[in-house]
Structure 1
Amino acid sequence: MKWVSVDEAYEMPRPEIVLGFHDLCLVKPVDDDDWYTGCLYGDGSIDCWTAYDDLYEALRGL
C-alpha cells in the first residue's frame, strides 16, 4: 500500500486496521495512534488525505 498525495507517493507504514466503506476507508497504521481517512482503490492502494487523533473523529470525518 502507498500513501498518495497530489504531487508524489509515499510508502505507507504497515496498516494494523483498514475499515472500508465502499470507496472510502479508515486506516490505522502499526505503531501510530492516528487514524487516516482516504480512498480505497480496487488494486489495494490507498489515497490518504487527513489524519485524526482517534477513531471517533475519523468516523465523523468520513
Structure 2
Amino acid sequence: MNDGLPDGWTIERVRTASRDAEAELLPLERLVVLEEHGHPDYTPLRPDLILSFHGLCLVRSDDDWYMGDLDTDGSIVCWSSYGTDLGEAIRGL
C-alpha cells in the first residue's frame, strides 16, 4: 500500500531516498500556505499529500511538490515548488 504516494513509492522508499528513517505522512487537516517573494500575502495551498522528514515538509498540491517548514502550531509555510517528481523534490533537500 502506498497511502496515496505516487506510483512506485512507499513510505519505506521515501525514508531511504530522504535518508530519514522517521519520515512520515502527515494528516492534511492543517493550514498550508506558500510564501512568494514580492507578494505581501501568503497563497493558500490545498495539499493532497504531506511528507515530513529532517524537520521539513514536502507538500503535494495540484501535482507540484512544495518544500516548507512545519510550524509549532502544525501549520506549514512553503517557500518554493520543487516540481512534479517526488524523487527530484526529495533530492532538492
Tell me whether the two structures share a fold, i.e. TM-score over 0.5. Answer: yes
Does 1 or 2 have the higher relative contact order (CA < 8 Å, sep 6+)? 1
Question: Which one of 32, 35, 39 corresponds to residue 4 of structure 1?
Answer: 35
**Structure label with greater radius of gyration:** 2
| CA displacement at 1:22 relative to structure 2 | 4.3
What residue number does 1:56 align with? 87
1:24 corresponds in structure 2 to 56
* Aligned residue identity for 1:46: I
TM-score (norm 1): 0.74
1:42 matches 2:42: no
Aligned residues: 60
TM-score under structure 2 length normalisation: 0.54
Root mean square deviation, CA, Å: 1.9
Higher strand residue share: 1
